[in-house]
Amino acid sequence: MFKAVKPKYYDVQAIATASQKSVDKVARRMLEDFRGTTSTWKHKPVFGVTVTSSGGKYSAAVGTNDEIYGYVDQGTEPHLIRAKRRGGRLAFRTGGFKAKTSPRKLSSGPGARASGPLTRPKAVRHPGTKAREFSGEIAKRWRNPSMRLIQEAVTDAIKRFI
């Protein structure tokens, strides 16, 4: 013999709250990933989280509008760098430089400063920067787990009424 189990009611607010808490949790974890990409940088970009709700659907956006982070994340084309002052000179050491980050790796290491001789040209042709693609990697990393976490939270909220 089978008997249908019918809940007396669903607490829609409890389900919505569970969904929102899950989205918040995923957003905080994504924020940690973004911060990890710059943990050894002297320049500290400010990352933000925006959680929105529309029609019972929640979404989160995590990122920064920091210009330097954008150059690292998206890369740069080869370009000319000139001294800012008329008649001025750039000053930097050549050779031995090692980047603190690598493409699609969500961490930041110590890197290495250039250790060669000091040079003072008026301009230099920069070869460009290879895109690190942090934002895409973070989105990819959290796409499936975020759906699973949200589904588990909603299921738990519903189970309380069965």
If you average pLDDT over residues 32-57, what whole number do you get? 93
Q: How many CB atoms lie within 10 A of CB 146?
A: 19
If you average pLDDT over residues 138-156, what whole number do you get? 89
Count of domains observed in the chain? 1
In a domain, 79, yes or no: yes
Q: Is the pLDDT of residue 56 over 90?
A: no
pLDDT at 96: 79
Q: Please name every residue paired with 9 in a beta bridge, in sequence order, or none if there are none.
A: none
In a domain, 62, yes or no: yes
Confidence of residue 58 (pLDDT cuts 50, 70, 90): confident
In a domain, 30, yes or no: yes
Q: Is the pLDDT of residue 102 over 90?
A: yes
In a domain, 50, yes or no: yes
Rounded-to-integer distance, Cα 126 and Cα 76, Å: 9
Cβ atoms 45, 64 nearer than 8 A: yes
> What predicted TM-score, i.e. pTM, was given to this entire model?
0.82
Contacts of 3 (CB under 8 A, 6+ apart): none
pLDDT at 57: 83
User: Which phi-psi region, left, alpha or beta, contains residue 123 (left: φ > 0; alpha: ψ -120 to 50)?
Assistant: beta
Identify the domain containing residue 125 by its residue range: 12-159
In a domain, 56, yes or no: yes
In a domain, 115, yes or no: yes
Confidence of residue 8 (pLDDT cuts 50, 70, 90): low
**Residue 87 backbone phi and psi in degrees, to 5:** 80, 0
Rounded-to-integer distance, Cα 159 and Cα 120, Å: 69
Query: How does 22-53 read in b/e, with b if 16+ C-beta sit within 10 Å?
Result: bbeebbebbbebbbebbeeeeeebebeeeeee
* Arithmetic mean of pLDDT over the chain: 90
Rounded-to-integer distance, Cα 93 and Cα 114, Å: 5
pLDDT at 109: 93
In a domain, 2, yes or no: no
In a domain, 75, yes or no: yes
